[in-house]
Amino acid sequence: MRGQLADVYDARGHSTGKLWFQYSAKARRDVAFGAEIEYLHFLYLESSFDVCGVDYSPALKVQRAVGGSFVEHVDAEIVMANGDVVWRHVCAADQAAAVQGTQSQLQLLLQAGCMPDGAPTPRLETLTHEDMLVAPQRIRNWHAVAAWLAAGRDWALTEEQLQVAALIRSKGRVEFQEVLALGEGTERADLYGVALFRSMQAGAYRSNLFDAPFSMRTFFAEKPEVV
């Protein structure tokens, strides 16, 4: 974390803007961001059900594969649930056209060469600030959810996840307060909330978490069976 903080301070230069520090459940480590759009991207990724792993500091991987001139163009390396690897650049909408040339050069280099250590060749994406705010409630809510996930980072919670799954399966739909009630009378009540959010990160349940402000009345329900 100390090295990452040094990198963030260096990248920020003489600016006195805010720094964001957070625990990433998908990277399983502490991360730091020196720009609001980077933290926004963090919340977007952590709440993306089709993402199973993220490297928020991929500079060394990018440098080894295609050279140092493209390091600043790749803000995250993302591993999707289907096994695909994505190199993503985030920027404001009015900057998207300007980075197309760099994107094309990087694409050609990746197609012409082989990734170090036999790693899969990533596909490239550009995501804008506006893209990430299509569902603003999702971002606001996951700012709160991230705090829950950080608080439970050192707990396995396998048993709690099974109990939460059994509750939702038996009732079909539950509110967040009912999940916490599984630990009523113990010191572990909040861990049931963490267990629920870990399962939600993999898209295990339906919820209004992206549509309404997060509260004790937020609901979670079984997903309909795919025929």
Give me the tens of pLDDT residue by residue for the chain, a chain 227 residues long. Answer: 455 544 544 544 445 568 899 999 999 999 999 899 999 999 999 999 999 999 999 999 999 999 999 999 999 999 999 999 999 999 999 999 999 999 999 999 998 888 888 889 999 999 999 999 999 999 999 999 999 999 999 999 999 999 999 999 999 999 999 999 999 999 899 999 999 999 999 999 999 999 999 999 999 999 987 55
Same domain, 19 and 126: yes
Residue 226 lies in a domain: no
Same domain, 116 and 190: no
**Structure pTM?**
0.89
Of 132, 154, 181, the position where a domain reaches its end is: 132
C-alpha 1 chain-centroid distance: 18
Residues in the chain: 227
Residue 82 lies in a domain: yes
Q: Residue 68 sits in which domain range?
A: 2-132
The span from the CA of 152 to the CA of 199, in Å, is 13
- What was the pLDDT predicted at 17? 62
Using CB atoms within 10 A of its CB, is residue 24 exposed (0-12), middle (13-18) or buried (19+)?
A: buried
Same domain, 170 and 145: yes
**Within 10 A of 6 (CB to CB), how many other CB atoms are there?**
11
